[in-house]
Structure 1
Amino acid sequence: MSARSPLDDERDHLAASRAALRAMRADAEALDIRDVTANWVNAEVLASEIGLRIKSLADLAGTPLFFGRLDYSEALDEDGEAGHRFYIGRRHVHDADGDPMVIDWRAPVSQPFYRASKQDPQGVELRRRFGYEGGELTAYEDERLSDPAEEAKTSALLQREIERPRVGPMRDIVATIQPEQDEIVRSPLSGTVCVQGAPGTGKTAVGLHRVAYLLYSHRERLARSGTLVIGPNRSFLRYIEQVLPALGELEVKQATVDELVAHVEVRGVDGAAAAGIKGDARMAEVLRRAVRSGVRMPTEGLVVVRGSRHWRVPVYELEEIVRELAGRDMRYGSAREALPQRIAHAVLVRMEAAGEAPDDRVQNAVARTPAVKAVVKECWPLVDPAKLVLRLLSDGDFLAEHAEGILTPEEQKEILWERPARSVKSARWSAADAVLIDEARDLVERTGSLGHVVLDEAQDLSPMQYRAVGRRCSTGSATILGDIAQGTTPWATESWAAALAHLGKTDAVVEELTQGFRVPREVIAYASRLLPAIAPELSEATSVREAAGSLEVRLAAPGGLDAAVVAACREALEREGSIGLIAADARVPALAGALAEAGLTHLAPGQETSADARLTLVPASLAKGLEYDYVVLDDPAAVVDGEPDERTGLRRLYVALTRAVSGLTVVHAAPLPDLLATAAAA
């Protein structure tokens, strides 16, 4: 009989852990909640929570239950973990006696797995990493942190996991989180963190893992207040949607900014100039003035009849009440609700002076009288946010009155509709108009705040969009993710300080990630040639990956660009992993035809790749945030020319160049942009 190996022991622990997880799920499924709740509502809530618990205890096929192990030294440490052994995984698993078999990666005891080093072992004697193939444990690798004689080296298993080909949606990085990423992930809930991250630094994954960590650490609080992930488009959200469920978090909602402010149907499109003005923070003051413009001073006194008595409030006192409310920093709707109560209180003062003893019920009754309602209607009329914005964009005089000293006459003319709409439903609202309506709604009635919001690709938001997001976390915290160099909208932010001010999070901590883990060093160096033109203030990104032959630049024969691109795609398909063909939006139809004629099946962004369909044709405008093992980039000059100005075009090109995680082939017919042509020549 052959001796058992350590790998056999680890496989036994994996099998036992999976059996324990199945038992935990069976226990949850067997719970009898009959007669344990006071009413059917509580029963429904409890049943829903148990259902989520059962779902979270699923043993996902192909997903390792644990990926690491920590062995603490026998010497007593301050946390009392001496001599203990912990397996680190995606969720907590315990045996029938309640003893842990796998520790959740978010637990404090798991932190040394990510941060311990030979310089600071944190009481850990041995750190073991596990390698898997299709969910089966196949290898392990040890790092003895307490042995100064052992040379520190890069983990081969860690490197293999980082470089593993990606087919399908984004994966979690829980097994490969680096110390600088872990610090951000475990930032406290009370603080807002802004992550400036170069391509391939894992900023999106860091933001998602921070949500998972916060839900673990503050579950009850965030269950009440809610969490939200905001992405640039639906394709991006579909790409990342499986990360949190894989970590056991099933209740985090996702949305785009446009979906957050979807109070009207968007059917129109603004030009760049109009969209820029509508997205400017100055529009907030224009809207504030417009919302308050309906407030009027009373023209006569008030008489309230109760029984045989008449109670009079003179006009000057009503005016004082209206002025006082108008001068307070209150939502328009809240002030309108307070006005009848304030008037009623003035009536009650007179009642008390006359010897009566009215109570709150009398005050509420007075506030509902026709006379008081008439004063409220005259002085503080209802405001419909959509109708208000409709009037601003349709009525030049109304806009001029409230934009005076804020917008120039030329700017006012730019945002006025050429054909005024007759109603809210018939108006051809743009995406920027919807944000204005959202601002107006908040001026009338406060927007509800969530406990935590993650905003990804934040560099592309306008100041008014930042304000819309900020309203959703005004009493909560946020994780802001982005890269100034990848800002491709005309209103893209030039500094995080300005963006955070618009969000209302000026005290946020800004962290910069420059160490890439997925984009090959040769590719990121090539793309970084554009930084002096697009973001000279940023540090150049580096990468831990050295992939030989990861970058190739090809000049197509005259008239043969489509054929050269198809040939590059064929070559990429001979390799393992996903392939993205990125092209200027205007080139997509021609390339789709060329691929079809060549018999190459291709997908659209957001469609899930498979073994039979690994090639995705990606318009450059939708490439941001996506990753592919191999990228074929069609004609860089066309990508640049597809944008309204050269700087925005170069930023769009920077995004396209940095989507590859294993190899990049650039195929061009037109001359390359100067900075890249210099790099190619070098």
Structure 2
Amino acid sequence: MNDPAELAREQAAVDGIYQVLDDARIRYRQRQRQIQAHGATGSPQNRSERDVMAAHLGDQAARLEQVEEHLVFGQLTPLQGENFYIGRVGLQDENHSQVLMDWRARAATPFYQATARHPLGMASRRHIGLHRRQVISLEDEAFDLSHARDKQIELQGEGALLAALQAGRSGHMGDIVATIQGEQDRIIRADTSQILVIQGGPGTGKTAVALHRAAFLLYEQAERLAKSGVLVVGPSSAFLRYIEQVLPALGETGVVSSTMATLLPGIHAEGKEHPKIATLKGDLRWVKLIKRAVRSLQRVPDDNQILLVGSSKLALRPKTVKEAIRRARLSGKPHNQAREIFVNYVLDSLTDQYLDTENRREEAELAAAASTAGLGEIEIDRDSLSERALVREDLRSNLNVRRAVNLCWLPYSAQNLLRRLYAYPAFLARFASEFNDTEQEILYRPKQAEFTPADVPLLDELAELLGDLPNSSSPSSQQASAFARKQEQSRAQAAIEGQGLGGGIVSAEILASRAGASAEQSSLAEMAYQDRTWTYGHVVVDEAQELSPMDWRSLLRRCPSRSFTVVGDLAQRISSGGSSWHQLLGPAADALEEEAYLTVCYRTPKEIMDLAEQVTTAAGRPSPYPVQAVRQDPNSLLTEKVVTIDAASVEQVLKEELDYLDTCLGKDRGRIALVCSQHDLVTFQHLSSQLPFKIGTDPINDRVCILDAVTAKGLEFDSVILLEPSHICAESVGNLFVAMTRPTRRLVTLHSQELPPGWK
């Protein structure tokens, strides 16, 4: 409905809401600057109070500065009472009247879930389309049973939804907050405390649903998640860049995003390896192997080790070492931290030996001197405590003692131990009794080889058992630092409680870090990303069907509460193993609380979806959860066979597709991906460099890019040009399914070899 009078009326309302937003932004920033102008003056408690308020105001302003686009997108009219507007955030005017309802509020639920059969107390719903701050369209739905229609697929806000789907791709995923459908909203608001699996085929919006669920939880469970944050794990860095604007546009910034390859601070596992090797590294048999390898760094000598200290000979006895190891292990600390307990016990024993030896020698010398001089017994006066401390420190710094202690309890880093396991087959064989000879052999690689993504959970397992290497700071300085931090946290917590800000996104821990660290390290996301042991309040895992059991161990370690949103599609799995989510979750399966299913494909035309499912079924991998597409386009499939795929054939197809998008979307709008197998990628990249078009490798910023099917996972394009699909199918049927279902408009297939079975 585009009645001018109605458009004008809604424009006035929208103008008023934007004015409230502008006023709030200005107010927060002005108050923040006023507080910061006081500088570092006053008592520590006063400074903490100012830091609390300044941080709170800054966070509120930043949140409102992210929600400019499509601030208002809906209106609900109850059967009784006044209508109200729905938007990205909740806003109140200066009289504390609600002018905009946050889409996550319970009162906003009918906007997404009300139907003619179940109106949820509503008379009607209006979708408001904005361009910048201008109202450009209105779409009304009356919840009147007399007008209810039987549809195969019930869509709410159909006009707004189709407009969003038909818009050109921008290189970044947009949020779907204005067009969330009923089945999606029920999943977003699902009341689960542990693992929720969202199974959804291509184009069902499963990634968007997972991200909006994260935003909903950050709103619904603000107090809990403010202190711990949310981790989003994606399949590739390109994918993370693709989705990076969604949560900030919903007003949420306390989120850490990572791939499995970058999960560990300081580790960027960019190496490549055969899928069979990666699968082997994901096996849970590594848990026992790694535990044995770490235990091997704790050794009891077969015989007494004679240590020369000055003119004294000390014996490091197996019995002493065995008892020291027992005590260190009982502490439950990681290997490198428990080593201090081991060292202290050994040093105490050696100190006793040294003092006993020196005492006997001194007594013998004095007795001999007294006898020669004709004197009686001579009493020795010692400051035993100070002498013992000096002897102990001398022993600690003695090279022979240090060497012997290290041989019994060797400090080690996770990286070096894993490299050693790979590079020395005999060393690996000592701990790999569950692995056969062939499996052990394919694990070999030289020490200087790059780590791969499959190495990350193994490094994480090692780091959990080893802990950090001993640092150079003294125990006293560590204690002083911990005490100072605790004091700062106490002052910050008192300030938060005193000013009634406990429900916000600022915690005492964050404020204490801001007081003692640089601004670059002050955000929750930065602190969490730099801390391997950080535990998150919630974790979102996308393309989860590809994770190994060892991957899941790493992720479970980061969320002890088991609060996960797990997203994926069994039909897109690269390997053929794993027929259910319960199987694929591995060690996380016991925390699986609910499986939800998205059944409607919004993105990909029906013709493309039907073809993709025909091909995968013919290959013996039918989709276990087929979806129903809402859009049809008889022109969405083009197939061209050539003698050979050369520069001329690719140039012709690409030119036609660029012209097609220019016609549909406007000049230079829309995005195209040339997708091929991993094996063909280098060849086709070289070929594309010969064309008179700019063809890049960045799916986010390049209008036309070339990439393999694995990198395309999770992304979407207006058009996809598929190069030699039989080669992709040979690598993985799942990869071919992914490649075929990336376009929102058209799939163009260019091939010189026979198409895979089922292609009609």
Q: Shared fold (TM-score greater than 0.5)?
A: yes
Report the more deviating stretch, 458-467 or 521-530. 458-467
Task: Tell me how far 1:492 sits from its aligned partner.
Answer: 7.0
Percent identity reads: 33
Aligned to 1:443: 465
Partner of residue 73 from structure 1, selected from 74, 79, 83: 79
CA gap of 1:279–1:186, structure 2 versus 1, over 3 A, is: same
Aligned partner of 2:209: which letter? V
Aligned to 1:545: 631
Q: Is the 8 A contact 2:116 2:148 kept in 1?
A: no
- CA-to-aligned-CA distance 1:199-254 (integer Å, 9 cap, x gap): 00111101111111111112232121122211111111111111111111123121
Matching of residues 245-264 of structure 1 within 5 Å = 245-261=248-264, 263-264=266-267
Aligned to 1:9: 9
Matching of residues 254-653 of structure 1 within 5 Å = 254-261=257-264, 263-264=266-267, 266=269, 268-296=271-299, 322-323=325-326, 326=329, 331-333=334-336, 335-336=338-339, 380-404=409-433, 406-417=434-445, 420-421=446-447, 426=448, 428-445=450-467, 447-488=533-574, 494-503=579-588, 506-532=591-617, 533=619, 535-536=621-622, 538-556=624-642, 561-573=649-661, 574-576=663-665, 577-584=669-676, 585=678, 587-588=680-681, 599-608=692-701, 614-641=703-730, 643=731, 648=732, 650-653=733-736
CA distance in 1, matches of 2:620, 2:218: 37
CA gap of 1:672–1:262, structure 2 versus 1, over 3 A, is: farther
Task: Tell me how far 1:11 sits from its aligned partner.
Answer: 0.9
Aligned to 1:663: 746
Q: Is the 8 A contact 1:66 1:90 kept in 2?
A: yes
Aligned to 2:93: 95
Task: Tell me how far 1:113 sits from its aligned partner.
Answer: 0.9
- CA-to-aligned-CA distance 1:306-355 (integer Å, 9 cap, x gap): xxxxxxxx997985675476489764456556668999999xxxxxxxxx
Residue 131 (str. 1) matches residue 129 (str. 2): yes
Q: Is the 8 A contact 1:556 1:564 kept in 2?
A: no
Aligned partner of 2:417: which letter? L
State the structure with more CA Rg: 2
Aligned to 1:311: none
Aligned partner of 2:121: which letter? G
Aligned partner of 1:651: which letter? G
CA distance in 1, matches of 2:25, 2:283: 52
Aligned to 2:376: none
CA gap of 1:469–1:569, structure 2 versus 1, over 3 A, is: same
CA gap of 1:327–1:165, structure 2 versus 1, over 3 A, is: same
CA distance in 1, matches of 2:413, 2:576: 28
Report the more deviating stretch, 335-344 or 176-185. 335-344
Tell me the C-alpha RMSD between the 2 structures: 3.8
CA gap of 1:30–1:512, structure 2 versus 1, over 3 A, is: same
Q: Is the 8 A contact 1:291 1:443 kept in 2?
A: yes
Report the more deviating stretch, 148-157 or 594-603. 594-603
Q: Is the 8 A contact 2:187 2:209 kept in 1?
A: yes
Aligned partner of 2:441: which letter? K
SS of 1:215's partner is helix
Report the more deviating stretch, 194-203 or 218-227. 218-227
Task: Tell me how far 1:620 sits from its aligned partner.
Answer: 2.6
CA gap of 1:172–1:4, structure 2 versus 1, over 3 A, is: closer
Task: Tell me how far 1:428 sits from its aligned partner.
Answer: 4.1
Task: Tell me how far 1:618 sits from its aligned partner.
Answer: 3.1
SS of 1:228's partner is strand
Aligned partner of 2:600: which letter? Q
Q: Is the 8 A contact 1:561 1:669 kept in 2?
A: no
Residue 64 (str. 1) matches residue 70 (str. 2): yes
CA gap of 1:390–1:86, structure 2 versus 1, over 3 A, is: same
SS of 1:294's partner is coil
CA gap of 1:265–1:259, structure 2 versus 1, over 3 A, is: closer
Matching of residues 110-259 of structure 1 within 5 Å = 110-145=108-143, 147-152=144-149, 154=155, 155-188=158-191, 190-259=193-262
Q: Is the 8 A contact 2:335 2:411 kept in 1?
A: no
Task: Tell me how far 1:143 sits from its aligned partner.
Answer: 1.7
Aligned partner of 1:104: which letter? D
CA gap of 1:592–1:393, structure 2 versus 1, over 3 A, is: closer
CA gap of 1:129–1:410, structure 2 versus 1, over 3 A, is: same
SS of 1:665's partner is strand
Q: Is the 8 A contact 2:171 2:671 kept in 1?
A: no
CA distance in 2, matches of 1:657, 1:564: 20
Aligned partner of 1:176: which letter? T
Report the more deviating stretch, 176-185 or 21-30. 176-185
CA distance in 2, matches of 1:552, 1:330: 62
Residue 86 (str. 1) matches residue 84 (str. 2): yes
- CA-to-aligned-CA distance 1:403-458 (integer Å, 9 cap, x gap): 11x101221122123xx53xxxx454444334322210012348332111211112
Aligned partner of 1:413: which letter? E
Structure 2 residues without counterparts, runs of 5 or longer: 305-316, 350-385, 468-531
CA gap of 1:212–1:51, structure 2 versus 1, over 3 A, is: same
CA distance in 2, matches of 1:208, 1:59: 16
CA gap of 1:336–1:112, structure 2 versus 1, over 3 A, is: farther
Aligned to 1:104: 102
Q: Is the 8 A contact 2:347 2:395 kept in 1?
A: no
CA distance in 1, matches of 2:270, 2:27: 51
Q: Is the 8 A contact 1:566 1:594 kept in 2?
A: no
CA distance in 2, matches of 1:500, 1:336: 35
Aligned to 1:350: none
Aligned partner of 2:697: which letter? A
Aligned partner of 1:602: which letter? I
CA distance in 2, matches of 1:160, 1:50: 37
- CA-to-aligned-CA distance 1:635-677 (integer Å, 9 cap, x gap): 3123334x2xxxx1x221111110011222223222110121x
| Aligned residue pairs, count | 624
CA distance in 1, matches of 2:453, 2:707: 23
Task: Tell me how far 1:507 sits from its aligned partner.
Answer: 2.9
Residue 50 (str. 1) matches residue 57 (str. 2): yes
CA gap of 1:593–1:436, structure 2 versus 1, over 3 A, is: closer
CA gap of 1:343–1:177, structure 2 versus 1, over 3 A, is: farther
Task: Tell me how far 1:596 sits from its aligned partner.
Answer: 6.0
Task: Tell me how far 1:376 sits from its aligned partner.
Answer: 8.0
Report the more deviating stretch, 168-177 or 544-553. 544-553
Q: Is the 8 A contact 1:73 1:124 kept in 2?
A: yes
Q: Is the 8 A contact 1:514 1:540 kept in 2?
A: yes
Structure 1 residues without counterparts, runs of 5 or longer: 75-82, 302-313, 347-361
Residue 28 (str. 1) matches residue 117 (str. 2): no
Aligned partner of 1:398: which letter? F
Q: Is the 8 A contact 2:71 2:87 kept in 1?
A: yes
Task: Tell me how far 1:592 sits from its aligned partner.
Answer: 5.4
Comparing both chains, which one has the higher relative contact order based on Cα–Cα distances under 8 Å and sequence gaps of 6 or more?
Answer: 2
Higher helix residue share:
2
Q: Is the 8 A contact 1:21 1:59 kept in 2?
A: no
- CA-to-aligned-CA distance 1:497-555 (integer Å, 9 cap, x gap): 23323347633422222211111111111111133336436122211122342222233
Task: Tell me how far 1:23 sits from its aligned partner.
Answer: 0.7
Aligned to 1:359: none
